[in-house]
Amino acid sequence: ELVERGFSVVAMDWRGQGLSARELPDPFKGHIDDFDMFERDLEALRKQVLQFLCPRPWYALGHSMAAAVLLSQAHAGRSPFERLVLVSPMIEIAGRAAHASTRVVVEIADAVGLGASYAPGVSRRSSMSEPFEGNELTSDPGRYVRNAAIVEAAPQLAIAGPTIGWINAALRVTRDFADPEFPRRTGTPILIVVGADDHVVSIPAMARFANRLKAGRMIQLSGARHELLQETDAIRAQFWAAFDAFVPGGREEAAALRRATDQEAAQRIFNPPWWRRLFGGRRRAA
């Protein structure tokens, strides 16, 4: 869908996810010591891939944890992206994780050497092995079943859940986001899109954050859960409409680019440089 809009696309499996290297011997543990490591990986992507393969301007589309990394980078003034589209950004984790008592327990557990252990309530099974009913990710049964089939065919893609260390690192980042000055000092234009039925990240926290942004807004999509881009076609259509309105370019620009490319190809065929050098003019069509 991004390619259809005329974009060059680079997608990355974050450290500890997908087919990227894991931080621990157990490949099903989602672990990180500090989110600064994700920012370093993002900078490596810029230096080693983006600047060689992708024409500017650059735009970033990030979901949940990735959105948090993009926000931290933008706030620090290190973002190479012109605009950010953040889907279900992890401004604050929903539920008990945001409570002060939970933060204290997690910090102590990490400090005494339990950081590599699974967070409480996490088992060594991918969430995609759970039944569709009651899942917090998507209301689309077809895409849920598709994802489960992918994980069954390629289990090395999956993680079962976060470690205590990952949770502690995430809570440190979200504590920064809670500072009212954080969004006010983030100048990159930002579009936040969130599902109204998202119970993984806090919708009120996202709304507070969006209201304080210099150049940003938040859109809620009714009926959508946390994995908004894996929702029903109707919900996804709403997302893409918001995306197209926010990000310069889109389908019309892609069509214009294709026309320009076709014209350039025709020019090279029917009026090649060697013809102009020899005869100093355009070649007449027969």
**What is the predicted pLDDT for the residue at 96?**
83
- Domain assignment present for 276: no
- Domain assignment present for 261: no
- Residue 185 CA to residue 199 CA, distance in Å, equals 28
Answer yes or no: is pLDDT of 208 > 90: yes
**What is the predicted pLDDT for the residue at 124?**
72
- Domain assignment present for 179: yes
Domain range for 138 is: 3-249
Q: List the helix and strand counts (H, then E) for the chain.
A: 11, 6
DSSP 189-205: -EEEEEETT--SB-HHH
- Residue 134 CA to residue 223 CA, distance in Å, equals 14
**What is the predicted pLDDT for the residue at 121?**
82
**Which of the residue ranges 80-94, 235-249, 266-280 would you say has the lowest mean pLDDT?**
266-280
Q: Is the Cα dihedral 55, 58, 61, 66 positive or negative? A: positive
Answer yes or no: is pLDDT of 281 > 80: no
> What's the token pair of residue 189?
């234009």
CA within 13 Å, CB half, 251: 6
Kindly report the average pLDDT of the chain as a whole number.
89
- Domain assignment present for 273: no
Q: What letter would DSSP give residue 120?
A: T
- Residue 214 CA to residue 98 CA, distance in Å, equals 25
Count of domains in the chain?
A: 1
Mean pLDDT, range 222-235, rounded to an integer:
98
Which CATH number belongs to the domain containing residue 227 in this structure? 3.40.50.1820
> What's the token pair of residue 188?
């990159």
**What is the predicted pLDDT for the residue at 284?**
46
Q: What are phi and psi of 201, to 5 degrees?
A: -115, 155
- Residue 158 CA to residue 28 CA, distance in Å, equals 7
- Domain assignment present for 69: yes
- Domain assignment present for 102: yes
Rg, Å, the chain Cα set: 23
How far from 35 is each of 169, 189, 196, CA to CA, in Å?
6, 22, 27
**What is the predicted pLDDT for the residue at 261?**
54
- Residue 248 CA to residue 232 CA, distance in Å, equals 25
Q: Is beta strand 59-63 parallel, antiparallel or unpaired with respect to 190-195? A: unpaired
- Domain assignment present for 222: yes
Q: Per-residue confidence at 98, pLDDT binned at 50, 70, 90? A: confident
pLDDT tens per residue across span 121-173: 887 766 667 889 999 999 999 999 999 999 999 999 999 899 999 999 999 99
- Domain assignment present for 127: yes
**Which of the residue ranges 9-18, 66-75, 86-95, 124-133 would you say has the lowest mean pLDDT?**
124-133
pLDDT tens per residue across span 194-206: 999 999 999 999 9
